[in-house]
Structures are given as C-alpha cells and as structure tokens.
Amino acid sequence: MDTVSENRCFGGTQGVYTHASSACNCDMTFGLFLPEEADDGPVPLLWYLSGLTCTHENAMTKAGAQAWAADQGIALIFPDTSPRGDDVADDDAYDLGKGAGFYVNATQDPWAPHFRMWDYVVEELPALVGREFALDMERQAITGHSMGGHGALTIAMNNPGRFKSVSAFSPICNPMGSDWGRKQLTAYLGGTETAWARHDASHLMREVGFDGPVLMDTGSTDQFIDLLRPEVMADAIATRRQPATFRLQKGYDHSYFFVSTFMEEHVAFHAEALFA
C-alpha cells in the first residue's frame, strides 16, 4: 500500500492510498479520513460508497462529511467506484464500465476480469484497512449516494451482522425495474434475472430486511427520481415492517448540495448505532 497524500483535516488526517487489488486485478485508490481519536486507538468506521462517474475523490472533497465524523470520532472510507487502468474494459456510456461498477462481481465478458467491486468492498478492502489503520472493525456502518446507495443497502442486507446501521442518499432502489440497473446487471451478470436479485435493494428489503436502523433521504425533485424508484423501496419497507426512516426532502435534487445538506444527520444517525 502506498500513500498518495495525507492532509490535516478537522484535527485528523484525510489520506489517499493506492494498493494492488487482487479482487479487481489492478491498482485501486481509496480515501480514508481518520479523526484525531485514532491516535489513541481504534475508532469506528463509516463506509461511503459513491455514485456513477465518481472516483474516491468526489465525496471526500464535496460531501462535507469530515466535519461531522471528526465531531463524532468516526473514520470515513471512500472507495473508488470501479476498477481502473488501461487494461480495464470500458464503455462510452457514463453508466457502464469505469466509474460504474455497480458493486457486483461481473461474470460476463469483457467485464469479468476486473469488475469485482463486490469482493473488493466486502472482502479485500476491509481486510486491508483493518490491518493497516487504527480501525475497530467490530464497529462498522455504511452509507452511499445513488449507485453507492444501492451498494450500501445491498451490501448491508447481504452481510447480516457486519454493519450496525445503514443509510443512503438518493439510492438506486430497484435496479431490476429501472434503466439504471437492467442495462448494467445484464452486462455484468448476464440475462438471468435470478442472479440479479441479491443486488436489488428493494427485493432484499422485502425478503431479508436489515437488523438495525435504516435511514434514506431522496430529494423530492431529484432529476433522476424515476430511475431511482424510491416508491418500490417505500413499499418494501412498509410491507416488511422494517424499522426505518424514509424521507423525501422537499425541493432537493441529486447533487452533492443535497448530500452535504443532510450529511450531519446521517453521520449522527450512524454514530448513535456505532457507540450504542
């Protein structure tokens, strides 16, 4: 693992690191914020998974999360959204290939050799950072935005006991029913829809649910709301009787101006679960 940069930030350190990933079969980059409490011992970790077109950097510079994580004494990790490099397959569309890993393990060509973001985020990266940094891996929580909200919800529900809490900003709620989903799931996983189900947050919510607190925020005037399908998630939450807070925020859109506005509440929500 190599250090790309470390900047002092809210009394802690915002670092950027690269490492050779065996899951993705390429070099991967991630951001990690450590609050000053990490100088004295392991701190809880909140995952932030980013959306389409993002790298590790977008949320790290635009979401304003470090202020609140520093207040709470929580670390933040910002993984990239896909494998990278000249050897990695890509597509001209912004929503397939690089920047659009969708947090799955691709089984189809040309994606299968590198697009294993599920294994990367669920297995390889936690093992790496748990070894290299002062992180209490018994106290993890997860959030994300858009495609990253999809990733946070599906990873949390597929790994019971791993995360104390899960939240999402404008998540892709029902990729099996949306053009932000059917296209990518077909490309990465093939046309058999049974292979898709564990990557559909609304389906998981209906079938499995989450053993802990759940928070979701979506802008009522999000320009992509028809692709996000929050109504399917709302129905699933209510049908399952899942303890959850599901909110449509009046007048907000899909941007980081929306994410940053509600970041304080999301970090406080996770802190309550992490320090319970």
Q: Which stretch binds its own copies (CB under 8 A): 10-18, 81-89, 109-117, 198-206?
A: 10-18
Show the tokens assigned to 176. 């099996």
Cβ(28)–Cβ(78) below 8 Å: no
Which of 4, 7, 191, 276 touches its own copies by CB under 8 A?
Answer: 7
Q: How far is CA 105 from CA 11, 108, 140, 217, 251, in A?
A: 37, 9, 22, 27, 36
Q: How far is CA 102 from the centre of its chain?
A: 10
Of 8-16, 99-107, 168-176, 265-273, the window that binds its own copies (rule: CB under 8 A) is 8-16
Q: Which residues have a catalytic role annotated?
A: 146, 222, 254
Cβ at position 180, least distance to its own copies in Å: 21
Q: What are phi and psi of 126, to 5 degrees?
A: -60, -40
Contact 223, 254 (CB under 8 A): yes
User: x-or-dash pattern for its own copies, window 215-234, by CB under 8 A?
Assistant: ----x-x-------------
Task: Give the Cα-Cα-Cα angle 136, 198, 229 (nearest 5 degrees).
Answer: 100
269: left (phi over 0), alpha (psi -120 to 50) or beta: alpha
- Tokens 């393990």 label which residue? 105
Considering only residues 98 to 157 of the shown chain, the ones binding its own copies according to CB under 8 A are none
Count of CB atoms situated within 10 Å of the CB of 238: 12
**Which position among 11, 160, 190, 243 is part of the footprint of its own copies (CB under 8 A)?**
11
Indicate whether 66 belongs to the interface with its own copies (CB under 8 A): yes
Contact call for residue 4 and its own copies (CB under 8 A):
no
Among 58-66, 119-127, 160-168, 224-232, which window interacts with its own copies (CB under 8 A)? 58-66
Q: Which of 25, 26, 67, 158 binds its own copies (CB under 8 A)?
A: 67
First CA to last CA across the chain, in angstroms? 33
Whole-angstrom Cα Rg for the chain:
17
Select the residue interacting with its own copies from 18, 53, 62, 224 (CB under 8 A).
Answer: 62
> Based on CB atoms, which residue is closest to its own copies, 62 or 198?
62
Q: Which of 25, 53, 64, 162 binds its own copies (CB under 8 A)?
A: 64
- C-beta separation of 208 from 264 below 8 A: no
- Residue 239 amino acid letter: T
Please identify, among the stretches 57-65, 87-95, 136-144, 184-192, the one whose residues bind its own copies according to the rule CB under 8 A: 57-65
Sheet with 12-21, side-by-side order of all strands: 2-9, 12-21, 26-34, 75-79, 43-49, 135-144, 163-169, 214-219, 245-249
- Find the binder of its own copies among 61, 108, 192, 239 (CB under 8 A): 61
Size of the site for its own copies (CB under 8 A): 23
Nearer to its own copies, 59 or 187 (CB): 59
The interface mask with its own copies, positions 235-274, x = CB under 8 A, is ----------------xxx-xxxx-xx--x----------
How many C-beta neighbours within 10 Å does residue 179 have? 11
Applying CB under 8 A, the residues found at the interface with its own copies are: 7-11, 14, 61-62, 64, 66-67, 219, 221, 251-253, 255-258, 260-261, 264
